[in-house]
Structure 1
């Protein structure tokens, strides 16, 4: 009772005053409270808001069909325990939607009072700190009791949740036990953790069986003179026939199918789905290949790169210089300072430096310093010993500096770390030793630190907000990443790469590529990829009209200028029967004249076309 009262008073003080004594709380709970406050979650509510039903809910469940079918039998084995203890057993997908909820009617009714039902999205952003949402964020088992919940709606509940992961560590979903707080069971967290582990082991066995069945079933279809591969449902090539193996270099690890096509130039000729005779689910595909067509408007992949790089390198001289510097830097373990605007691909360059270095078999740990609350960044980087504070993990926590030992630590947005942490980080760089919080033992580390920022660090040093000695420790080799506007010749290559990698169907008219080449791309490569995503869901007729909105208006009236061109490459000589695009063009001209009160010169300027061209259009459309 004392702990519950203490927790309630801590909750009230934090909600009302923003004061938090994190040393008296579980670290994951205090971190979550801070995130909820920053996200402006309502602490006085917390009932479910986003609830899927009908076809939308069925569609959401279908995404997780395989692991649900594997997990539900294990949940049913707990039925008698769940009913005797007054609990609910839930299965949640990686997006936070409750896909299954089992328990007795009285408990289900209490859950409905806070809209805790099947189909609800139960994340931190929706309902505040809770075992499901916090386990999703932290990626580890979590227990939340009573007033440890951020929102009052759940203060009378106790819940424990554990992630379920596949053989590659990717999240499949969450298993959760929840109950009214008076029915809290001391082994709730152990039960969900054990259940998650059991499902993970069975998932791994099922995958191995599925892969063997896929190979046995699909192999006969590949034994031909034509090149062919067997691809699992995760788009990995599990086997290639002789015609492929003779032309491709051996590779450690597995190719993803899109990367394989891009690297070796094959094109897909025929795809045959393979289904399991055991459970009826899709196992993968037997794919026959042929040489790709060379009629594409977009260039072929540039393959003469001297280093391993996880993205598209293009052909621009400025980025080729970056690649040359990466190759040179990678040979030595010096610290690197990346400078570049947001969206230029700093983490991709950092990973390339690591991948081409002698320590490429070691870990690559990326930390966004700007995304970690200042109160938590010390424990996140340095870790802590067992018993360092109340709520600390049983065996302590290995910080990012130690996790990166033998490899590379990438500190993005380095300019955001607070002054007191700058001193601690400087000591690590000088002595190559880390002292976790609450420990006197020093842990030796050998690692390369790559830091990055979009801010002017020299100016920060002058202003005294960043230590000069730390700056020069990090600034051993500065590497500038050019913005996209300085490497526009790479745009067609980046477009081809992203569309191919993500299977996007974007109609690439020559005029659209030309428009891409004339835009300044303030959001850099990230903005280009976002635009391609939006274009992929548009029709060809919509693209000319929506381009101004697509580029935030910076393109001017592209709807009109795009409409002045025959996008399909055919010229029109009809005087009376205009095509759809000609009708769009005429409409744009009429709108421009209306906005400029009939001034032809002003309308031409508004549309961004020469006056002579504008007058010819007026004659053509008899305006």
Structure 2
């Protein structure tokens, strides 16, 4: 636990002047502060920016159901022991989202003012140095109070957090106690660590019981002459039928994918296995099939899954690819949810290219880019002479063009109410009537839709038809934003360099900043930044001088001779020294084209100091 306290003055010197007195700061605090500053975290943040929608929080809890089942009884007991102390007890998932929060009424209301609520993402990247986020990053228990936090959003708080680890040391989540800074107590961290340890032991015992129950459930299946694998929740083989063991004596303990690849098998079918109570997934029974020349290129083989983007390493994106692969095996309607720039069209194309329709057309339509009065003719087509300016012999609509293949309707949330009715009827009847035509055209298409908006909320707000929603929202897929799959950023950078023919090795400080940045524009924004760096570096190795993140804005600096005519007010009453300083700053900004970061480097002063002086001199 950190015992020394950081003064408000130490914090102000760091955020305003970049002065970091490491001799007076705990190593974990100074390390985290530096990371947050390089990542562009706002030290004056007043509330957390990212809170999940109710349906997203429900999905998060579903993904962490085993942790909740095991940990919540102990979390509730911990809260019962401190009830009335004005503190909160929180259980947080491995990505930093608060899954459960218990606390007294007053402190809960106070927490709501900064969005410290269930569903909030409370990591270093989101809200700066804090016990939860720092414990997640370092894997160590830690307590922070007041100005030890990087952002003022947490300066009124004291927080003690400890990671909860599962098998192989994997972090399952974080347990935290938070309260007003004036209530900080040296024994709080000890209580949190002890409770986290008890949860870990319960997790290990439950995992062992789950394995035993899984083996009991699978006992009858293993006598089958067919090749079978029994896998746990992590897709690790815990048992295999005789047919598999004859080829691979040491198959237990390996991943299912490794056993398949090493022994010439494909996964033919997968059956989930649940606990006797039915509320816990124990694992799966995999039925295998021999690889053949045809099956090696068939979609039935998971190893043949075709995805033209970067697969990366992150758990969230690997889960998405698995869900995409399984959805592609069917002809079900799929809805893809995700922020702009996350690669929703790549997922749609993967659904098509790995489906039985892959030899048919893939037609993509951006519903938000077509004027509402043109959308009907664009989707349904029109007959000869349907309206003034219509093409001779008419034109096939996108729905008809997609026959035998896949129609991808991007930004489906943008279509107007009248078109929602028309689209619903087309999906119900599986036929369309082009504008001005007297005959209908049968449809044999798969529909894939996507949007960055929350369709469920739009239905609740009356902006999207509920009956159409249920036609489209059959198999939902969620594309995670880049900030939730940071471990994939190095792979994305390598992909960009390969595609653009840029042979460059990125310095450690640049790679660190690229990894820590929040990327609100997601992969599209990352590639834009990389393109600017490539141009600035002339195709060579990038340096910090070539590197500028989007928040590092430029300042339009007027020339001295044009200052008055440009309407810039020069502060009066400056001393001779201040006037020289003002001119020096203007000269540095002009040399760097208004780039504050480069100007600060040129003047050898912290960027925060330069921003303050720019404001002081009204530049």
Question: What's the TM-score, normalizing by structure 2?
Answer: 0.50
Specify the alignment match of 2:282 in structure 1.
Answer: 283
CA contact (8 A) 1:270 1:288 kept: yes
Give unpaired runs (5+ residues) of structure 2: 305-309, 330-342, 366-392, 404-619
Residue aligned with 1:274, SS: strand
The 5 A counterparts of 1:144-543 are 144-246=144-246, 248-251=247-250, 254-278=253-277, 280-296=279-295, 298=297, 504=325, 535-536=349-350
Give distance in 2, aligned partners of 1:115 and 1:155: 14
Residue aligned with 1:77, SS: helix
Specify the alignment match of 1:26 in structure 2.
Answer: 26
Shift of 1:249: 2.9
Aligned residues: 348
CA-based RMSD of the aligned residues comes to 4.0
Residues 171/177 of structure 1: CA separation in 2 closer, same or farther (3 Å cut): same
Give distance in 2, aligned partners of 1:86 and 1:530: 44
Residues 577/221 of structure 1: CA separation in 2 closer, same or farther (3 Å cut): farther
Give distance in 1, aligned partners of 2:215 and 2:145: 48
Give distance in 2, aligned partners of 1:543 and 1:10: 62
Residue aligned with 1:267, SS: strand
Give distance in 2, aligned partners of 1:578 and 1:530: 26
Give distance in 1, aligned partners of 2:399 and 2:344: 26
Q: Deviations over 1:337-394 (max 9, x none)?
A: xxxxxx999x9xxxxxxxxxxxxxxxxxxxxxxxxxxxxxxxxxxxxxxxxxxxxxxx
Q: Deviations over 1:10-59 (max 9, x none)?
A: 10000001110112111111111111111111111241211113212111
The 5 A counterparts of 1:63-212 are 63-212=63-212
1:47 partnered with 2:15: no
Residue aligned with 2:7, SS: helix
CA contact (8 A) 1:4 1:146 kept: no
Shift of 1:501: 8.4
Give distance in 2, aligned partners of 1:578 and 1:6: 69
CA contact (8 A) 2:13 2:19 kept: yes
Which deviates further from its counterpart, 100-109 or 251-260? 251-260
Residue aligned with 2:20, SS: coil
CA contact (8 A) 1:499 1:505 kept: no
Shift of 1:294: 2.7
CA contact (8 A) 1:156 1:181 kept: yes
Shift of 1:214: 0.5
Residue aligned with 1:42, SS: coil
CA contact (8 A) 2:240 2:252 kept: no
CA contact (8 A) 1:499 1:506 kept: no
CA contact (8 A) 2:5 2:148 kept: no
Give distance in 2, aligned partners of 1:498 and 1:135: 25
Residue aligned with 1:120, SS: coil
Residues 48/543 of structure 1: CA separation in 2 closer, same or farther (3 Å cut): farther
Residues 545/183 of structure 1: CA separation in 2 closer, same or farther (3 Å cut): same
Give distance in 2, aligned partners of 1:220 and 1:199: 33
Give distance in 2, aligned partners of 1:36 and 1:191: 28
Shift of 1:279: 6.1
Give unpaired runs (5+ residues) of structure 1: 301-310, 313-342, 348-496, 509-528, 548-574, 586-623
Residues 578/83 of structure 1: CA separation in 2 closer, same or farther (3 Å cut): closer
Question: What's the TM-score, normalizing by structure 1?
Answer: 0.50
Give distance in 1, aligned partners of 2:311 and 2:321: 20
Residues 54/215 of structure 1: CA separation in 2 closer, same or farther (3 Å cut): same
Give distance in 2, aligned partners of 1:191 and 1:94: 21
CA contact (8 A) 2:132 2:176 kept: yes
Give distance in 2, aligned partners of 1:226 and 1:244: 9
Q: Deviations over 1:377-421 (max 9, x none)?
A: xxxxxxxxxxxxxxxxxxxxxxxxxxxxxxxxxxxxxxxxxxxxx
Give distance in 2, aligned partners of 1:499 and 1:53: 19
